[in-house]
Each structure stands twice: as C-alpha cells, then as structure tokens.
Amino acid sequence: MDNSTAEKGSPGQEQQAAGVGILLQIMMLVLSFVVGHVLRRHKFYYLPEASASLLIGLIVGGLANISDTERSIRAWFNFHEEFFFLFLLPPIIFQSGFSLSPKPFFSNFGAIVTFAIFGTFIASVVTGVLVYLGGLMYLMYKLPFVECLMFGALISATDPVTVLSIFQELGTDMNLYALVFGESVLNDAMAISLYRTMSVVRSNDPSGQNFFMVIVRFLETFVGSMSAGVGVGFTSALLFKYAGLDIDNLQNLECCLFVLFPYFSYMLAEGLGLSGIVSILFTGIVMKHYTFSNLSENSQHFVSDFFHLISSLAETFIFIYMGFDIAMEKHSWSHVGFIFFSILFIAIARAVNVFSCAYLINLVRPAHRQIPSKHQKALCYRLRGAMAFALALQSVHDLQEGHGQIIFTATTAIVVLTVLLIGGSTGTMLEALQVVGDGHDAHLGEGFEGNNGYVPTSREEDETTGNKLRMKLKEFHRSAASFSEIDRNYLTPFFTSQNGDSEDEEDDPMPSSRRGIYHGHS
C-alpha cells in the first residue's frame, strides 16, 4: 500500500505502528468477547455477538479514520485474502465439520445434501441471472455474465453463527437445527467450488466455453477436494487406532498430531490445485465421526476445546475486521443501486432455493414426516458472513476494471445489513413462526429416531402416484438410509477402536455453533 512506503523510512516508527495495530486488534477482541458474554447473560437477542463485534470494528475504524493515526494503523490492518484463506477460515470451517453430531446429520442426510448441493446451485444461478438481467435493464451496474455468476456463487454462502447461537439459547426443533447447521456447513463447500469453477471459466475463455466442461470442472474441484479431505480423515483414524498413542505419557504427541491433520488436508488439496476449504470441512466431519473416538479421554476434551477456541477467535476477528474495513476503506458507494437490487435478488433466490428443495424432499417423505411450512420459512432467514466476505476479497484480485471492488463493496454491505438486521431479529422471527421450544428437551434422550419430527427412516411407504421423479427421489432416500447401515456395520468397526455408539450418545444433537465456546457457561 502507499502508506507502507512512507513508513519504511523509519524502522522505529514502523515497529511502533505494528505494535499499536496489534494492540488495537487484541483490545477489540477482548471487548467483543466481554460484550458478547454480557449480552448472552442478559438474554439480549437483538444484538447477537457477531453484530456486537461488527459494531465495535465500525466504531474503532471510524475513530481511527478521523484521527491522525489512520496512516499507520491502516498499514497494519490491511490483510490480503491469503491471510483469511490460510489462517482465519480453515479453523472456522474445520470446526463446522467437527461439531456436526453424526446422528442428526446422517438422519437428515438426504434433506441436507438436497439443500446444500442442489439448493446452493439454484440460489447461485438465480442470483447470477437476476443480477445480469438487472444490468441489462439498467437497474444496476452491468457486469459480464460469468462475473454475475461468480457474485451469485460467493453471496450464496450463508453463515449460521448468529442464527444457530439463538437457536441454542431459545431451543428449537432438533430437525430444523440439524437442517440449518448441516446445510450451512456443506453450503460453504459448494459455494467456494462454484466460485472457483466460474473463476477458471472466466480466465480461460469466457465466450466459447462448453457447458459440459464447466460441469466437469466443478465436479473435479468439489469431488476431488472432498475425496482428499475424506482420505486424510480416514488415514488419521487408522493412525490413531493402531499407533497406540492413547496412553498417558503420549497425550501431548496425540494432541499435536490431531491438530496437524486438518492443516495437512488443507495444504494437500491446495497443492493439488483443489479447494483446501472443502477438503478441511470433510476432514472435520470424518475426524469427528471416526478419529475422535480413538483418542484418550483427556485428548478428546483438549482437541474439542482447542478447536472451539481457535474458531471462535477467528470468527470474532473476521466480524471486527469487516466493521473496521467499512469505516477505513474507500468503498465505491456510488453503486447503491447494485447493493439494493442485489439484496432483493438474493432474497428471491433464497426463497426459490428453499421452497423448491423442500417440495422435492416432501415428495419423498410420508405426510407425518414432511418439512412443515414454518420450518421452510425459518430456513429462508439466513445471513451472510465470513465465507462470502473472504471470497469477495479475493474477487478484488480476480476481477479487473473495478468490477471486483463493486462486488466487494456490495458483499460487505450485504454482510453488515444481514448480520445487524437478520441477526437481531432472529429471536422474534422464531417466536412469530412458533418454532421456539419445539422439542428442545427431546434431544437429551435417544428419541432422535422416534416418530416425532420428520427424521427419515428406511421404512418404505406405499405411494399411489407412480411418477418417475418420486421413484428416483425414493431411491436416493433409501441410499441415504443404507449409508447409515454401512457406516454402523462396516466403517465404524473398521476405523475405530470402539463401537462408536458411546460417542454418539454423548453427542448433543444441538452441537455448539461456530461461536460455541460459551456453550454451557451462560
């Protein structure tokens, strides 16, 4: 940056600026955690922790902007997207996968995959097409079609932090919780794969691209990254099962190795030209389900707390940085129309995504297990966060002619508005839809696979309509149920030293959300 060249003349000044910048960051982190804790203790849901962190960043950024320290502080607060993708996002994404409870996740596996894979694809394409049409109709700044699809992909990455923490506090239906959490976890992986695919399409030959090749490129990124992550996860499970590290004097080594595996997965995928984020997510899911039960009890407590801590710090820091960045950056606020219509189009795309996927899922499920209308409405109520912001930051470097800057400004504005407005009104929305308190206590027992809620079972229901779509969906439904059987009968005994049931019973079907470090302390 220009400011850094001015600073380089005096090493003493540069060191002092670094110290002030880092001190400011630490102070804001401490303040965010304290304010977040106080808000939780007093059950004040109108300002969630994420919103509080963002506001703290905005206030400090605004104060720095009007003081003469702007030059030096800006130099030490200006991070590149590599910092996000290498240091901040991996622990957050790994924790997402790691904190998934296997039972509710696999019980709703078919529905979660439908929302996360098919639904995110629909949302991305609908948003991209609407933004492109908006440009053609002069409603907003006109972007090329592929860049509109890139924007659609990055903005379809939803963030569950605030919504899930309020779900936890108020208590909501365990199936709705599993759907929201599972979808948001896999949705990040899908969004980044779509963004990468569109980025590659754009850089190669935007005009003469074969649609079939685009699909192949996407599958290559997504399936390749997923395979790398699952492979590393299974390798870690076998290592911990047979290496005999779970004896007392090797606990330190056991924890060190466990913590290194996620980063190994991330770097392996990046080295192969795949997506490290997608890879580390699936490593988290596999390591929690298989590797975790091979650890000694003390190590299990340590790694759970460690990843909660790191992801919580990273998440808070990202929201603070977003607030700080808005106050300090020179954003292209001239494109207010782009921001306004983008928000409108995203809301439309999210509704199309949720209601179309829910319709397909309800085609398969018998009447008493269908996703109710009020749960579908709750699923529409989602905010954007860390992943969308990081991808938008990358788009500044990926797209020339100021297009990346427009997308970055729009994304930042959307993240702030959704975090403050949607985050603050989630509690009210849950109460209005009457989904609060649905089965909050039921999750403590083993009734997860009982007849309450809409957990799918392998039982086949005779349907009068013999329509082909319904039959195809039923086959997928059966395969999801049979995967649970394979997992229980073959995978769990092979990869774990225990039968794995004890761990599932301990598991809270409402796992701590990404900010779950406070769970149990309020």
Whether residue 219 contacts residue 227, with contact meaning beta carbons closer than 8 Å, is answered with no
Distance CA 277, CA 194 (A): 13
Q: What is the pLDDT of residue 248?
A: 60
Q: What is the pLDDT of residue 69?
A: 57
Whether residue 199 contacts residue 398, with contact meaning beta carbons closer than 8 Å, is answered with yes
Residue bearing tokens 């219509």: 341
Q: What is the arithmetic mean of pLDDT over 410-433?
A: 83
Q: What is the pLDDT of residue 103?
A: 73
**Does residue 300 lie in a domain region?**
yes
**Does residue 1 lie in a domain region?**
no
Q: What is the pLDDT of residue 459?
A: 39
Residue bearing tokens 């999210």: 350
Q: How many residues does the chain have?
A: 522
Q: What would the pLDDT profile of 261-304 be if each residue is shown by its tens digit?
A: 999 999 999 898 888 888 998 999 899 988 888 888 888 899 99
Residue bearing tokens 């004097």: 249
Tokens of 105: 């996740």
Q: What is the pLDDT of residue 231?
A: 94
Q: What is the pLDDT of residue 126?
A: 92
Top pLDDT among 167 and 352 is at 352
Q: What is the pLDDT of residue 304?
A: 92
Q: Which residues of 406-426 are buried (b: 16+ CB within 10 A; e: fewer)?
A: bbbbbbbbbbbebbbebbbeb
**Does residue 476 lie in a domain region?**
no
Q: What is the arithmetic mean of pLDDT over 474-496?
A: 71
Top pLDDT among 475 and 254 is at 254
Q: What is the arithmetic mean of pLDDT over 247-274?
A: 87
Distance CA 174, CA 171 (A): 8
Helix (H, G, I), strand (E, B) or coil at 172: strand
Tell me the average pLDDT of the chain.
Answer: 77
Rounded to 5°, the CA angle 258-261-262 comes to 110
**Does residue 518 lie in a domain region?**
no
Least confident span in 424-433, 472-481, 509-518: 509-518
Least confident span in 78-82, 268-272, 416-420, 472-476: 472-476
Which range of residues forms the domain containing residue 34? 18-433
Tokens of 487: 């997992």
Quickly state the pLDDT bin for 522 (edges 50, 70, 90).
Answer: very low
Least confident span in 68-77, 208-217, 401-410: 68-77
Distance CA 187, CA 436 (A): 24
Q: What is the pLDDT of residue 265?
A: 94
Query: Among 390, 347, 370, 322, which Cα is nearest to 92's?
Result: 390
**Does residue 71 lie in a domain region?**
yes
Whether residue 374 contacts residue 172, with contact meaning beta carbons closer than 8 Å, is answered with no
Q: What is the pLDDT of residue 105?
A: 76
**Percent over 90 (pLDDT), the chain:** 13
**Percent over 70 (pLDDT), the chain:** 77
Whether residue 8 contacts residue 134, with contact meaning beta carbons closer than 8 Å, is answered with no
Top pLDDT among 224 and 433 is at 224
Please state whether beta strands 158-159 and 383-384 pair in parallel, antiparallel, or not at all (unpaired).
antiparallel
Q: At a CB cut-off of 8 Å and minimum separation 6, what does 98 contact?
A: 284, 285, 287, 288, 307
**Does residue 488 lie in a domain region?**
no
Q: Where are the alpha helices (DSSP H) in 292-420?
A: 297-328, 336-364, 373-380, 386-398, 403-417
When divided into structural domains, the chain yields a total of 1
Quickly state the pLDDT bin for 451 (edges 50, 70, 90).
Answer: very low
CATH number (domain holding residue 368): 1.20.1530.20
Q: What would the pLDDT profile of 56-94 be if each residue is shown by its tens digit?
A: 988 888 887 776 555 656 666 666 667 777 888 889 888
Residue 174 has pLDDT above 50, yes or no: yes
Q: What is the pLDDT of residue 500?
A: 42
Query: Among 142, 259, 154, which Cα is nearest to 197's?
Result: 154
Q: What is the pLDDT of residue 109?
A: 79
Residue 499 has pLDDT above 60, yes or no: no
Q: What would the pLDDT profile of 150-171 be if each residue is shown by its tens digit?
A: 999 999 888 776 677 777 777 7
Least confident span in 52-66, 158-172, 304-318, 436-450: 436-450
Q: What is the pLDDT of residue 206?
A: 52
**Does residue 349 lie in a domain region?**
yes
Distance CA 430, CA 436 (A): 6
Most distant CA pair in the chain: distance in Å?
A: 81
Q: What is the pLDDT of residue 30?
A: 92
CA 458 to chain centre: 29
Q: What would the pLDDT profile of 18-47 be if each residue is shown by its tens digit?
A: 777 788 888 889 998 999 888 888 877 778
**Does residue 449 lie in a domain region?**
no
Single-letter amino acid code for the residue at 63: L
Q: What is the arithmetic mean of pLDDT over 447-451?
A: 35
Q: What is the pLDDT of residue 460?
A: 41
Distance CA 426, CA 47 (A): 10
